[in-house]
Structure 1
Amino acid sequence: MIAQTPKPPYYAVIFTSVRSELDDEDYEAMATRMVELASQQPGFLGVESAREDVGITVSYWDSLEAIKRWKAHVEHREAQRLGLERWYSTFKTRISRVERDYGI
């Protein structure tokens, strides 16, 4: 599903990852929980995600402060730790300001 974002400007956090060889059943539950929890945070605007060989999750936020609060959230920090230790062989996070958007 495509996120319904407001008129720009707003921010996008782009999380790109490659899963480790470890098949961990806890991963899907944690991923679902993170979307649920993020959607409850002040400043959250939406999320889009796709996974094949490379996973890409883009979350949208109204401010850099909201992104900083989400990064520091206690449950999100635990997910970050587990990602480093178990779930990802590599990942990259990019934060961008959206100046324009358009579509149908």
Structure 2
Amino acid sequence: MTYQSYAAFMAKLSCGFISVIFVAQRTGLDADGYARAATIMNELAAQQVGYVGMDTVRGSDGLGITISYWTDETSASAWRDHPEHTAIRDAGRDRWYSDYSLHVAQVKRSYDWKKA
């Protein structure tokens, strides 16, 4: 999906969907292991009931923000509790992250804008 089609898709979602905002500082350890785990998690999340999409960015200093979007709280919670996700989260705490914060929000409004 291109960014344009993704942005248009996200803008058309009904209000009330759930955003899970994950802000994390990478340690820089085991970059290859992290990359493999991130790919697996992205693919697995996309297969879950209620998954809508994901946005992610990372700065050169290792600070990253990933936002996953879910149709409802039940779907977001099921992803949180998924056994493979739990195992990767534990590995992240052990070696890939020095700290992180997570915020769950209900979307009240969503729109996009594009320069003509």
Report the Cα distance in structure 2 between the residues aligned to 1:73 and 1:11, rounded to whole angstroms: 17
Provide the aligned C-alpha RMSD in A.
1.3
Gaps of 5+ in 1: none
Letter in 1 for 2:39: T
Report the Cα distance in structure 2 between the residues aligned to 1:70 and 1:23, rounded to whole angstroms: 24
Larger radius of gyration: 2
Aligned to 2:16: 9
Report the Cα distance in structure 2 between the residues aligned to 1:75 and 1:9, rounded to whole angstroms: 27
The question of 1:68 aligning with 2:62 is answered: no
Q: How does 1:1-104 map to 2 (within 5 A)?
A: 1=3, 2=6, 4-5=9-10, 6-52=13-59, 53=61, 54-104=63-113
Structure richer in helix, relative to its length: 2
Gaps of 5+ in 2: none
TM-score, normalised to structure 2's length? 0.84
Structure richer in strand, relative to its length: 1
Question: How many positions carry a matched residue from both structures?
Answer: 104
Identity %: 37
TM-score, normalised to structure 1's length? 0.93
